[in-house]
Structure 1
Amino acid sequence: MADSIISRGQGIASADPDPSVYLQIGIVQKALLGLLSLPKVSHCVGQDYRNYVQKGSDSILGKLLNASQDTSYPLDRLSLGRGLLMEYIDSDHNQTVDAALDALNESIELQKRNQYGGLWYFTYPNWSYLDGMFSYTSFASLYTSFFNPSDTKNTTDRIIYQLDLLWSHCRDNATGLLFHGYDASKSASWADPVTGASPVVWGRALGWYFMALVDWLEMNTFQTQSLQWAQVHSRFVALADAIVEAADPASGAWWQVLNFSGREGNYIESSGSSMFVYGLYKGVRLGYLSSAAERHRETANRAYEYLVDTFVVKNDNGTLGWNGTVSVCSLNSPATYEVFFSMSFGNVGLVANENDQYYVTQPLLFNSVHGSASFVLASLENEMQAI
């Protein structure tokens, strides 16, 4: 699947990219760099992957050199940190790459925050999303450990504070899952009047947050005796347990909207499901889910088999395709499950209002790297269970 992603030229920015390309490059780079840990990946193949990661970084490098401008992009921009840091090391400290890393780091301080200090995910005032934590937590940890290790405690405190804000505002006490995001001002049409939370648990948003937790735990194993590490670990375990409970009994995988499982219009979605498989497998492998490891592994095994059987497409040219990935879901919408209808005065009857068609009516994309690269990561962890 990784080779198929490369064959399609994905994870490389065009000359005039839209904001979604940052996370597309970032998740492809994470998948390719992750494959380097497999014993069966030869030096030559591994170098091909590293070269492709560098190509992706270079395709966007020129747009990352101004910290103020960087804040106009979603927090997803920070997912580029892994690839840039690899290139910085491999290139013997290329100054342009160094400048991009510094600008991205500075942009975190310039990022607008809501009244609680929560990072805005994008340009929407006072809105914080689960999605951004995948990029933010890894970048902040990697940058600090490489360039400013004396600031590790402060960086850790800042990361945990952001994770905690989302946990406290978005956690659904009934299921243990987290809603997509929250509006600190509580002025959005979808905002809970007490917490500001949105009403829908979107699978892929929760997947980004789940991966953020397990990746941060792995990157900070030197802190295992600290209260901060223990706190993130306890949240990861609680969320893993809730995700296992939310798995669809029939397929073993997870719904697009997790708090309306089985509801008309809902469906099993491939990117969020891949992310959950990755997180569960990784948590088991690293010993973070030891109290119920077998149950978590069995859940991941069953879901992984479903992903392979249902979403992998064998193309005539020998490559693999990937199906069943929702395009995007944003809180810049009604943020509702249903398709609402509004009166059209120019026609008789009720007609669909496009702005009200959301979580279960967003289009599915074939070969979306949000799904295929996440599947590479799930497959990597599936294979590493046996190593």
Structure 2
Amino acid sequence: MNFINHNIKLLAFAALGSGMFLACAQTKSVTASKPSAEISKSGKVVPTNLKWSERMMLSEMHRFPESWMLDFSKSPKWTYPSAIVLDAAEQLYTKTGKKEYYNYISEFGEKLIKEDGTILTYEIEKYNIDLLNSGNVLLYLYEKEKKEKYLKALQTLRSQIDGQPRTKEGSFWHKKIYPYQVWLDGLYMGMPFYTHYTKDFVKGPEAAKAYDDIIFQFDSVQKNLLDKKTGLLYHAWDESKEQAWANKETGLSPNFWGRAMGWYGMAMVDVLDYLPKDHPGRARLISYIKSYTDAIIKVQDKNSGLWYQVLDKPLANGNYEEATASAMFVYTIIKSVNNGYLPKSYRAYAKKGYDGIIKNLITVDENGVVNLNKCCAVAGLGGKPYRDGSYEYYVNEEIRSNDAKGTGPFILASLEFEK
């Protein structure tokens, strides 16, 4: 598909280190020329004889020398995308024992959490569920370093859950500024943290109550956002049915956005890491993964193995094979197979998607630095300027390379294949 013909907006140059990074739909990224500590014997910044997980991780560390810079942050900011790459760094450190991965994670906590436990730029009163995701990094660091400041910050984030506004039936609003709205994204942003925190710090009846609440969030999404005909889930649901993007009868947004579904899949498989084996909701969550996977397999491109920005309209004008959703789907499927949530036969779909990413969306610079191209930079609903959830809206959002929402899941998927 010729993306130039589809008037896809390109991001301008974003300054990065001593070099410039071109973020666009198909142009090869030019990374900072600053030499990395990882210069190999071959003279390459990223050695090409490593597995894809390490090659992409080292490329991210080269592009973003400090972990707070991940996802193009210009100054230290408490946000969610960096946590996905740092989750991958945790697993790489466990696998390889290479201290540079641990240091990269540790620097994030040092930079973002003040000595009194205050979280830089975080405002609890906004009740933005996105901001719980980086709590996963602190759970890891507290386990390793036992620093009091991390515990205080974790308790602050956990208190957000207690105050987070909910729909009438009990689903978390996505943000305070989005009343009565449940977005698929929010399940990934909040539930793995909620489950992991409960496992580490809560006992007895309080823990049981929390686990029930977590499973309920998924039950509610299955009830309110699922399209029974396709098995796909809509990006969002407005209980009040007042938003311009919401269907006046159902309250649903109009399209199946790839990454929203990607977030939801990752939420399910990551929550299962911490949900007790004997919890009655566990089997139900696994059944949701099965129906979810059956639905996304039907919209996987038969030739490339990839998934589209708008999942069910592959031939529509301007639609494109999108990297972040593709990486998230691959991760969800292969992890589910590895953990026994899906039959082994499903591995073939994950492998086809993974190979498709490497063949069609990955480029490697002369210095060995790996780029993931065709990442949708951002998409949401409502706000100012107003995002209407139309097909045209999704396919015209910015496209860039090396978005953490794609590189993180790609590393995680790679690690699952390397097991």
Structure 1 length normalisation: TM-score? 0.86
Give 1:329 deviation, angstroms. Answer: 0.6
Give 1:71 deviation, angstroms. Answer: 4.2
Moved more, 198-207 or 3-12: 3-12
CA distance in structure 2 between the partners assigned to 1:321 and 1:162 by the alignment:
35
Structure 2 match to 1:76:
130
1:130 aligned residue (178, 184, 188): 184
1:4 aligned residue (32, 40, 59): 59
1:171 aligned residue (219, 222, 226): 226
Structure 2 match to 1:100:
153
Runs of 4+ in structure 1 displaced over 4 angstroms? 13-18, 62-68
Tell me: CA distance 1:304–1:22, structure 2 relative to 1, closer, same or farther (3 Å): same
- Give matches, 1:294-373, under 5 Å: 294=345, 296-332=346-382, 333-338=387-392, 358-373=393-408
Answer yes or no: is the 8 Å Cα contact 2:328–2:410 preserved in 1: yes
In the comparison of the two structures, how many residue pairs are matched? 352
Tell me the SS of whatever aligns to 1:321. Answer: strand
Give 1:318 deviation, angstroms. Answer: 2.1
Tell me: CA distance 1:49–1:68, structure 2 relative to 1, closer, same or farther (3 Å): closer
Give 1:272 deviation, angstroms. Answer: 0.5
User: Larger relative CO (CA 8 A, sep 6+): 1 or 2?
Assistant: 2
Tell me: CA distance 1:380–1:160, structure 2 relative to 1, closer, same or farther (3 Å): same
Answer yes or no: is the 8 Å Cα contact 1:64–1:104 preserved in 2: no
Structure 1 match to 2:315:
262
CA distance in structure 1 between the partners assigned to 2:319 and 2:118 by the alignment:
38
**Structure (1 or 2) with the greater helix fraction:** 1
Structure 2 match to 1:216:
271
Give 1:239 deviation, angstroms. Answer: 0.6
Answer yes or no: is the 8 Å Cα contact 1:252–1:302 preserved in 2: yes
1:52-71 CA-partner distances (Å, limit 9, x unpaired) = 11112233224954999224
Residue identity in the other structure for 1:80: S
Tell me the SS of whatever aligns to 1:190. Answer: coil
Structure 2 length normalisation: TM-score? 0.80
Residue identity in the other structure for 2:111: S
CA distance in structure 2 between the partners assigned to 1:232 and 1:159 by the alignment:
11
Residue identity in the other structure for 2:354: Y
5+ residue gaps, structure 1: 339-357
Tell me: CA distance 1:72–1:240, structure 2 relative to 1, closer, same or farther (3 Å): same
**Identity percentage over the alignment?**
33
Answer yes or no: is the 8 Å Cα contact 2:199–2:274 preserved in 1: no
Give 1:226 deviation, angstroms. Answer: 3.5
Matched, 1:203 2:269: no
2:203 aligned residue (118, 124, 149): 149
5+ residue gaps, structure 2: 1-55
Structure 2 match to 1:158:
213
Give 1:262 deviation, angstroms. Answer: 2.0
Structure 1 match to 2:240:
185
CA distance in structure 1 between the partners assigned to 2:299 and 2:111 by the alignment:
39
Give 1:184 deviation, angstroms. Answer: 1.0
CA RMSD of aligned residues (A): 2.0
